[in-house]
Structure 1
Amino acid sequence: MKVKILKFENMTDEWLDFIAACRSGFVHDYDIVEGPMADDIVWNYVNDFLDGDITRKVFWELAKFKYPTHQISLHTLKALDCLKFERIEIINE
């Protein structure tokens, strides 16, 4: 099964434009999107950027001090079909 994947290695202008567009209602056709995850603070910066309260340059100055985590986001049933259950583990507290 072939899926359409968009992968961002780092927080770049392309990454910012993509998440800003999605935040503004853009619907993409990727099955899977992978890359840096914006935490709540970075999302606030994205919103400020979208609202025109800060420039792209200011966004990057603020964001460079944050350490994004990595995420894989599945957007279609086709992407979900790629998952395979391997096991379950019960952890006693």
Structure 2
Amino acid sequence: MGMMTVYHGGYKPVKKPEIRVGRNTKDFGNGFYCTVIKEQAQRWANRYNTKIVSIYNVRVDNTLDIKEFKEMSDEWLDFIIDCRSGKSHKYDIVIGAMANDQIYNFVSDYIDGVITREQFWTLAKFKYPTHQINFCTENALKCLEYRGYEVVK
């Protein structure tokens, strides 16, 4: 994995990213979430009155333990269910599709037994592509180089 640009949507510039441990569980656990899709980071920023997208160069350290989901799969779904249930994992960085609010509603329905796994995949496959990269450890954060920020209009 070479150099890439990632974006983080929020309400202020984040020059020094840090691991966020929240009371709300996230798709890939605690960490600092970014995306390679600028428009997606802008959507994240739109949740706030002040809309900021921080921009970073990333040079991934190949000694880190990285889990990448190339596509939404049963393994991806099970990983998200575990993380959203509060289970931890061993990875420094996790990369893959995002279970946005609508997809997560389908995940919840699957967990609750309202729909089958097959029904989940039928519903989920029609959603627009998403991407997230979670920097889960302090060593992973060292891969980020802050480039600046943009205000979302």
Above 0.5 in TM-score? yes
Structure 1 match to 2:138:
77
Moved more, 62-71 or 7-16: 62-71
Structure 2 match to 1:30:
91
Any gaps of 5 or more consecutive residues in structure 2? 1-60
Counterpart Cα distance in 2 of 1:78 and 1:90: 26
Any gaps of 5 or more consecutive residues in structure 1? none
Count of residue pairs the alignment pairs up:
91
Shift of 1:17: 0.8
Shift of 1:89: 6.0
Shift of 1:90: 6.8
Deviations along 1:36-69, one digit per CA (max 9) or x if unpaired, are 1111100111111111211101100110111231
Q: How does 1:1-93 map to 2 (within 5 A)?
A: 1=61, 2-85=63-146, 87-88=147-148
Please report the RMSD computed on the Cα atoms of aligned residues, expressed in angstroms: 1.8
Counterpart Cα distance in 2 of 1:90 and 1:27: 33
Counterpart Cα distance in 2 of 1:54 and 1:29: 30
Deviations along 1:8-47, one digit per CA (max 9) or x if unpaired, are 1111111111111111121001110001111110011111
- Paired-residue identity, %: 55
Q: TM-score, normalised by structure 1?
A: 0.86
The 8 Å contact of residues 38 and 68 in structure 1, kept in 2 or not, is answered as: no
The amino acid of 1:47's aligned partner reads: S
